[in-house]
Chain A
């Protein structure tokens, strides 16, 4: 697609439920990032995928968080047993390979846990 696409754009869920957030990167981009941003705050790195390499999961805050990337394209971030502190916007970004390459962000998935 023309840009990074994320769905849902907004999600309200009850505490304890599982949620899945989807990211469709720019076509041809091999690198994919997930970040979390609390309201008006900075970016918290969650996970990084690069091609067929093992992902860098070092930013996942707990074992309730997991992510996968199927076929080197679409990625899903799953949060199990959601807690109120999980409320945030989850941003996905993608880029082509290369340190100088720009990463492009989606509009984010706004998660509210009630």
Chain B
């Protein structure tokens, strides 16, 4: 069965420090992996995705994520956090044979000044 795990409900980071939001997945076929961000009282915004090719994917707002096939992970990273990065982050996965996206439970990221 397909699944996505975001093991941390909340991540706290000081402004200017690097941040990591973790995501691990399980799919039967080749994974298509996505990260979305949700600011308060807003819909979800697409950040980046991995389909194929380079394992390091760069996205919006300076975020990047690294696909690690052996560890079945797709952690979201940013070298220097901003207070404005504070939001809810969702990881999602789809395999090539399925239209359904399987969503993680979300991680609340809090960046403190």
Contacts and interface: CB of A to CB of B under 8 A. Distances in A.
B95 A42 contact: no
Which of B34, B95, B100 lies at the interface centre, i.e. has the most chain A CB atoms within 10 A of its CB?
B100
A61 to B, nearest CB: 17
A102 B49 contact: yes
Interface string B73-113: 00000000000000010100011111111011110100000
Q: Please tell me the size bucket of the interface on A.
A: 20 to 34
Contacts of A102: 34, 46, 49
B109 to A, nearest CB: 13
Contact of B94 (A50, A99, A110): A99
B95 A99 contact: yes
B51 interface: yes
21 contacts: A40-B88, A41-B105, A42-B104, A42-B106, A43-B44, A50-B99, A91-B44, A99-B95, A100-B49, A100-B51, A102-B34, A102-B46, A102-B49, A103-B46, A103-B101, A105-B36, A105-B43, A105-B45, A106-B43, A108-B42, A110-B41
Given A100-B52, A106-B43, 18 more contacts: A4-B43, A40-B88, A41-B106, A42-B90, A42-B103, A42-B105, A43-B103, A48-B99, A50-B99, A91-B43, A100-B49, A100-B51, A102-B46, A102-B49, A103-B101, A105-B36, A107-B42, A108-B42
Interface of B: 32, 34, 36, 41-46, 49, 51-52, 88, 90, 94-101, 103-106, 108
